[in-house]
Structure 1
Amino acid sequence: MSDIRPIEVPKWGLTMEEGTLSTWLVQEGQAFSKGDELCEIETSKIANALEATFDGVLRRVLVEPGTTLPVGALLAIAASESVSDEAIEAYLATRQSGQATPTTPAQTATADNTPAAPVSAPVAVADTRPASSNGIPGQLRGETDAPVQATPHAWRLARREGIDLAKVSGSGREGRICVEDIARAVNAAGGSLPSREHSVPSTAVGDDSEVAATPIARRLAVARGVDLRHCRATGSRGRVCRADVEALLSRRQGNTTVAVEQPVAIPSVTEQPLSSMRRTIAARLQASKQSAPHYRVSMDLDLEALLSLRDTLNAAVPELKISVNDMLVKASARALMVVPELNVQYDEQRQVIRQFVDADIAVAVAIDGGLITPIVPAANRKTLGEISMLIRDLATRAKAGTLKPAEFQGGSFSISNLGMHGVRQFDAIINPPQVAILAVGAASEQVVARDGQMVIRRQLTASLSSDHRVVDGALAASFMKELKRLVETPALLMV
């Protein structure tokens, strides 16, 4: 098997745990060379092409586009044309057996990320039927002795067809096996699962609360008196969908003369699973909100002098195109040098504060399907022109999904600016392991008092969210005071 090479989900960056296959760029049976792009993979932050590290032929594609798999999961098999299909099958069987490592019984997650009780390995009933009776290849048949994480549907299917789940690779979290994984393994080994569509189950309704189903399917089942355990699950992630319930009702109508009442009107909705990026954003910000005691301090910043300096610089050097946000990044970096207690990361597990020498400012950029925070490293050492050009380059590549992991991971401080959308003021959630984030609103003309006179000045409101475990109120106030001094005396940013 030395000529057989696996193609796996790569690990791009320290925080990457899974990737979603977007599309195959090389077709099954097609030869490729080292450096060729094989497929596109979307992670929680970027979408990149997986490049071949060797010459070969794509002999077996194992994963369809749209599938999310953990890092290291098998995507395809590459081998020279001289390698037989039997050798590839043997390699897959060995690989699948090796990946099914025993796990300690612990709480796992269902397909829709709700807590579920651990599924322990039941004693498989010996299957005395010949290997060819139901199309299950011999290399997948057997009893499951080792603890394996699998959905209840997968366990029932494995027991019914005599399949050893230890020989099947799971695509769920922590290698959890679903029905689709079994079907994929059987098809890859040249077999097929038996069709059970023609059986008409009983109309008795029992407790089907543990059956994975979409909300629409569950409401329809309750309204029509359908037991979800009798439905064949064809929806995403092994769930019973509306079509499955309607298919069961249709089969009943074709096998009985009893009149069936008209369907209850179901609201017209669509379901869309969270993307890998949105799941990561949701998990990180939920953890931040739950673990970090947020508090906010706000301050109005007078922009007259800063806007005057910006206009002067842009007129003198047209190619610069310096923005207010660029100048706020510079001002924040300089303020962090005066109040270094905010220029840190907090390691919650080790109870350690990591102090940064330079201010690495993460700037929030909205992209399709989520948010990403490319970093301006050592912003305190850069000129306004350098910061402006770097932010434009990072934002462009962030929206194209071509940032490198080092360009958006880490950072010591974040800035989120919604001023371009007309938002006057808002509170931002801290991006862990950082301990503070600055929320910037829109600039607007306001009536203020100056030297006993009412005048109109262009101002904006900035709000600092801080982690009270690390940053006390006095420190946050000191930072905002220094930021206000720098913004309202922008000549200080030039020295």
Structure 2
Amino acid sequence: MSARTAPQAATGTQVFLLPDLGEGLSEAEIVEWKVAVGDVVTVDQSVVEVETAKAVVDVPCPYAGRVVALHGAAGETRPVGQPLITIAPPDGGDEPAGHATYREEERAGSGNVLIGYGTGHGPARRRRRPRLTLAPEPVAEGAAAPLAQRAPGSAPVGGGVAGPSSEPRVPAGAGVGAPACAGVTTDGAVPPVGGGTSPTGGTAPLVISPIVRRLAREHGVDLGALRGTGPGGVIRRCDVEAALVTPPDRPTADADRPTADVGRLAPVAHVGLAPTDAQDIVIPLTGIRRVIADKLSRSRREIPEVTIWVDADATALLATRAAINAATPDAPVSVLALLARICLSGLRRFPQLNAHVDTEGQRIVQSAGVHLGIAAQTDRGLLVPVLRDAQRLTTRELAAALAETTAAARAGILPPARLTGGTFTLNNYGVFGVDGSTPIINHPEAALLGVGRIVDKPWVVDGQLAVRKVTQLSLTFDHRVCDGGVAGGFLRHVADCVEQPALLVANV
């Protein structure tokens, strides 16, 4: 992905344009500026955090010098190819003595901006986000001390960098004396439980997602007053939304003193009735939410989809998984991995479903490889990370790839290329405790297999009633690529392999 630049001005300034962020991504929303006008930046320094339709990424600048202009404010959407930041030589001159060193440093970068990986001039190294040192000032008793203050045009506090707004934003987990690993790095590492230390001696709120921070800021929610429900106490988006729905306790006479009950929500006086002071919550349809809405709406408009389903006895499948994991406990295989293997076997027999319709060319394109999409629910919404050429992987390799990919998707560290290009999707909605569904096809794919929960049900085995592990399988398919015979044959093959996993041996 190459970074396009505007013509260089006569004064030596460089205008860095928003680069191409991936397949089908034409714009990005500015989440947070990491530099301010007047700051000096180096080659490959991360200057802004943006949210695309696929992920939240850091954008490194391929130029070194002094920031003279930031094009766009936090929350603003910028199209690809439009100015993002303007960089001038360090002293602002045309070409001062010694500026050759600056030019040499600039030429060291290739000019190809790969999001999260620098400009490609040597081995890529991910950078930790800069931290703000919290410097409380003496205040009167009972008053809240500011986290940090910075006068316009002054140097960043504590070596960190603040955005263009008057109030610098503190990265989650940062604090006085916080270690370098106390926050979230660009490689997706999760910080240790507890976060940093606040100026008042308490614990700073543990927030990983920049979307959560932005949502809290827009609605005036104090993250320090929330108790996170995520792993290790991480504050998630649902925690902020819950705080918006339910008002906090009414202040008492000594409410100005912090207590241990700050994060508790007040009970509703009348069960079933909303509080009298409740207000509608308005959530802008932006970022991943807007892309999900657009993609699903397009799927419903263009694809004549049909859903068929069948119940299957999964007792033997679970027994097979238990036998595999007992033999090699160090490399466990999940039920989802076995279902993925069964789907690959079915697509080999019925390749018509591993396809898409080219409406402009009026043709059906069957893919040579199976790029298997796995529907994953995350805090940012429903994502479908893709395992490319999944048919080349063994069952154990599938299990490892599925675990790594879904974990990265939920952590929000997958690059956009890993979220596009699927040819068939596997959706395990049984994890939500439901039996069946009629899902919408992931456009432009032609089919999607859904798997319900596996539960004990009465089942007839050899003429006798028995209790078996039963699941419901559903196939939603594009009726343009095939008729019911092909779709039914595929679903029956999948069900047969679930009930008799030994059938897979004949197709592997």
Match among 32, 47, 60 for residue 56 of structure 2: 47
Q: Deviations over 1:72-97 (max 9, x none)?
A: 22222111144379xxxxxxxxxxxx
Q: Deviations over 1:52-89 (max 9, x none)?
A: 2222222212311111222222222111144379xxxx
2:42 matches 1:4? no
For 1:30, the equivalent position in structure 2 comes to: 39
Match among 311, 319, 334 for residue 330 of structure 2: 319
For 1:56, the equivalent position in structure 2 comes to: 65
Q: Deviations over 1:241-265 (max 9, x none)?
A: xxxxxxxxxxxxxxxxxxxxxxxx9
CA distance in 2, matches of 1:71, 1:400: 25
For 2:355, the equivalent position in structure 1 comes to: 344
For 1:433, the equivalent position in structure 2 comes to: 444
CA distance in 1, matches of 2:73, 2:325: 50
For 1:362, the equivalent position in structure 2 comes to: 373
Task: Tell me the secondary structure at the aligned position of residue 63 of structure 1.
Answer: coil
2:341 matches 1:330? yes
CA distance in 2, matches of 1:366, 1:16: 21
CA distance in 1, matches of 2:330, 2:55: 29
CA distance in 2, matches of 1:283, 1:57: 40
Aligned residue runs from structure 1 range 191-340, under 5 A: 268-340=279-351
Using the aligned pairs only, state the percent identity: 32
CA distance in 1, matches of 2:16, 2:412: 22
For 1:70, the equivalent position in structure 2 comes to: 79
CA distance in 2, matches of 1:62, 1:466: 45
Structure 2 counterpart of 1:421, which letter?
Answer: F
Match among 429, 451, 454 for residue 443 of structure 1: 454
CA distance in 2, matches of 1:383, 1:59: 53
- C-alpha displacement of 1:430: 0.6
Task: Tell me the secondary structure at the aligned position of residue 438 of structure 1.
Answer: strand
CA distance in 2, matches of 1:472, 1:285: 23
CA distance in 1, matches of 2:75, 2:475: 39
Tell me if structure 2 keeps the 8 A contact 1:323–1:388.
yes
CA distance in 2, matches of 1:444, 1:270: 37
Q: How many correspondences in the alignment?
A: 317
Structure 2: gaps of 5 or more residues? 1-8, 95-275
CA distance in 2, matches of 1:322, 1:308: 12
CA distance in 1, matches of 2:428, 2:474: 11
Q: Deviations over 1:144-182 (max 9, x none)?
A: xxxxxxxxxxxxxxxxxxxxxxxxxxxxxxxxxxxxxxx
CA distance in 1, matches of 2:47, 2:502: 52
Structure 2 counterpart of 1:70, which letter?
Answer: P
Further displaced range: 458-467 or 22-31: 22-31
CA distance in 1, matches of 2:319, 2:50: 46
CA distance in 1, matches of 2:330, 2:415: 26
Task: Tell me the secondary structure at the aligned position of residue 332 of structure 2.
Answer: coil
Task: Tell me the secondary structure at the aligned position of residue 406 of structure 1.
Answer: helix
CA distance in 2, matches of 1:416, 1:352: 27
CA distance in 2, matches of 1:355, 1:442: 31
CA distance in 2, matches of 1:358, 1:270: 44
For 1:476, the equivalent position in structure 2 comes to: 487
- C-alpha displacement of 1:383: 1.3
Task: Tell me the secondary structure at the aligned position of residue 449 of structure 2.
Answer: strand
CA distance in 2, matches of 1:339, 1:397: 31
Tell me if structure 2 keeps the 8 A contact 1:294–1:468.
yes
Instruction: List 4+ stretches of structure 1 deviating above 4 A.
Output: none
Task: Tell me the secondary structure at the aligned position of residue 414 of structure 1.
Answer: strand
Structure 2 counterpart of 1:316, which letter?
Answer: A
Tell me if structure 1 keeps the 8 A contact 2:355–2:481.
no
For 1:221, the equivalent position in structure 2 comes to: none
CA distance in 2, matches of 1:347, 1:359: 18
CA distance in 1, matches of 2:64, 2:284: 36
CA distance in 1, matches of 2:407, 2:87: 35
- C-alpha displacement of 1:492: 4.1
- For the structure 1 residues 400 and 267, does the alpha-carbon distance in structure 2 shift closer, same or farther, using more than 3 Å as the test? closer
CA distance in 2, matches of 1:266, 1:313: 57
TM-score normalised by length of structure 1: 0.61
- For the structure 1 residues 376 and 335, does the alpha-carbon distance in structure 2 shift closer, same or farther, using more than 3 Å as the test? same
For 1:418, the equivalent position in structure 2 comes to: 429
CA distance in 2, matches of 1:492, 1:405: 37
For 1:218, the equivalent position in structure 2 comes to: none
Structure 1: gaps of 5 or more residues? 86-264
- CA-based RMSD of the aligned residues comes to 2.0
For 2:389, the equivalent position in structure 1 comes to: 378
CA distance in 1, matches of 2:348, 2:448: 16
TM-score normalised by length of structure 2: 0.60
Tell me if structure 2 keeps the 8 A contact 1:446–1:457.
yes
Q: Deviations over 1:190-248 (max 9, x none)?
A: xxxxxxxxxxxxxxxxxxxxxxxxxxxxxxxxxxxxxxxxxxxxxxxxxxxxxxxxxxx
Q: Deviations over 1:369-395 (max 9, x none)?
A: 311111122222211110111111111
- C-alpha displacement of 1:303: 0.9
Kindly name which structure, 1 or 2, has the bigger radius of gyration based on alpha carbons. 1
2:23 matches 1:20? no
- C-alpha displacement of 1:267: 6.2
Task: Tell me the secondary structure at the aligned position of residue 283 of structure 2.
Answer: coil
CA distance in 2, matches of 1:306, 1:5: 61
Tell me if structure 2 keeps the 8 A contact 1:275–1:369.
no
Match among 74, 88, 92 for residue 83 of structure 1: 92
Task: Tell me the secondary structure at the aligned position of residue 382 of structure 2.
Answer: strand
Tell me if structure 2 keeps the 8 A contact 1:337–1:359.
no
CA distance in 1, matches of 2:410, 2:67: 31
CA distance in 1, matches of 2:38, 2:404: 39
